Amino acid sequence: MGLAGLVGAAVTTVIGIVSLNLFVLGAASAGAFVRPVGKKKKEARLQAQSELWDLSTQPLPGFQHKFFEAADGVNLHYVEGGDTSAGSPLVIFVHGFPDSWFVWHHQLSAPAIQQKAHLIAVDLPGYGGSDNFPRASATAILSSIASFIVAQKEKKTSEACILVTHDWGSIVGFRLASEAGFLFTRCIILNGMHPALAIENATRATSSASRMLQTYIRNPTNFALIRSAFRSLKPLLTQLKCSYYISVFLLPRPLARQLYKMGDFWFLRLLSRVSKFPNEESFLASSFGPAKSEADGYPAAILGRQTSVNKRADDKIAYYRDNLAFGKWRKPENIQLLAAASESNSGFTGLIEQKEGSFKCPVTIVYGGRDTAFHRRFCFEGLEEYLFPSKGVKRSYLVCFPRAGHWTMVPSPGRESIDMLIESELDGVDGEDMKERVWAADREVKFEIEK
């Protein structure tokens, strides 16, 4: 590690320790360390876990628990329902931190979507009822999810496949849309940032500021250069401020776990209120996964998670620690072959040069105007250059839900607007007709970019 890396690691550690202390103070002021977990609360949590994870019952009306064992031996849990006939289109949902398949229960339960599509919501490795990898690397996570999607598509006679993602699931969604977009007819990506665009915007900001500061050294009376350097860095600095909590998850593991588990899962309970979930018990049950009493039938890793809260925390924060967002994806052979076949069938000659990280399928990117985890300018400036060219068929969009926070698909009217985006794609409706459907659910929704 070079000098810059050491300085960066030291700064991150200092910010992480300060942030953790602030969270501890927040938990303490809320009484999280002194209020005991009562018998009724424990029973309510166990009941909620049983309703979501008991393999002998339906997780939602009309849905079934299923498992998929990937070639690498990792067993993924998912729920399946809707129109499961071979000719129906697929809609695959992927959640983020700290959730599971249940975060999509509004969309899975929507009658109009159920009647039109084969619905699958999968638990990411290390979450919910799915197995885990020793490291949540890009190759491990992307290969397992891509292989899962390929296996589901192979059961179908319909080529239509819509991917709907949130948070860390959206990091997966962005990467799949740009590196394996041939799998999808559209990706609907909620509340996340595209890693390639983030790197480009960070590099542009730091390079511009560096040039101005170098010029300032030669002209020390020109303070306008200092102001210009700061303006260049401001979007990056604002995003780092929004993402400060991540520094806690990058601390040495014993400290990194504390935010997840301290004060009777105070942080998770805080997120349940922020997300506007139906109730705290269902949010915790979604995050915890199966209880020990339901672990039979799940991968062996599930019992390990339920007997060790440290293990449960480690599996979730691994996504922050193991470079899923920016690591190189070494694609398995079947994905490489499918990619080559897709390029051949599309007539791609390699003569058209695309920006690295450009999407290979239409995307609809949604963010909440009140989402404190992301800064709009940093995350989406320059997005147009990455969007899939519509060629007059299907357009790509950047959409803002002004009243929504980070969980855009949970509270009204965001959840109805997401339903309309999915339904429109299933019905083959795009452009102004699609917008009218979304506006019928929420007139304040803004379509900021269209290509």
pLDDT of 137 over the 90 cut: yes
Question: Domain 1-192+245-451 sits in which CATH superfamily?
Answer: Alpha/Beta hydrolase fold, catalytic domain (3.40.50.1820)
Q: What is the pLDDT of residues 423-443, one digit of tens each?
A: 999 999 999 999 999 999 999
Sequence-distant (≥ 6) Cβ neighbours of residue 140 within 8 angstroms: 72, 74, 125, 133
For the segment 1-12, the average pLDDT, to the nearest whole number, is: 72
Distance CA 256, CA 277 (A): 25
Confidence of residue 166 (pLDDT cuts 50, 70, 90): very high
Sequence-distant (≥ 6) Cβ neighbours of residue 42 within 8 angstroms: none
| CA pseudo-torsion sign 95, 136, 160, 184 | positive
For residue 277, what pLDDT is reported? 94
pLDDT of 127 over the 80 cut: yes
Quick check: 71 and 147 in contact, CB under 8 A? Answer: yes
Q: What average pLDDT does the structure give for the chain?
A: 93
Rg over alpha carbons for the chain, rounded to the nearest Å, is 22
Distance CA 258, CA 154 (A): 42
* Secondary structure (H, E, C), 290-355: CCHHHCCCCCHHHHHHHHCHHHHHHHHHHHHHCCCCCCCCCCCHHHHHHHHHHHHHCCCCCCCCCC
For residue 393, what pLDDT is reported? 72
Quick check: 139 and 441 in contact, CB under 8 A? Answer: no
pLDDT of 7 over the 80 cut: no
Q: What is the pLDDT of residues 80-121, one digit of tens each?
A: 999 999 999 999 999 999 999 999 999 999 999 999 999 999
For the segment 149-153, the average pLDDT, to the nearest whole number, is: 97
The string over 134-149, giving b where at least 16 C-beta atoms fall within 10 Å of a residue's C-beta and e elsewhere, is eebbbbbbbbbbbbbb
Q: Which residue has the higher pLDDT, 196 or 343?
A: 196
For residue 319, what pLDDT is reported? 97
First to last CA, the chain: 41
Q: What is the pLDDT of residues 56-78, one digit of tens each?
A: 999 999 999 999 988 778 899 99
* Percent of the chain whose pLDDT exceeds 70: 96
- Single-letter amino acid, residue 184: F
| CA pseudo-torsion sign 275, 278, 284, 286 | negative
Confidence of residue 221 (pLDDT cuts 50, 70, 90): confident
Listed by start position, the domains of the chain span 1-192+245-451, 197-242
**331 is written with which tokens?**
């694609």
Confidence of residue 349 (pLDDT cuts 50, 70, 90): very low
For the segment 7-16, the average pLDDT, to the nearest whole number, is: 86
Quick check: 53 and 291 in contact, CB under 8 A? Answer: yes
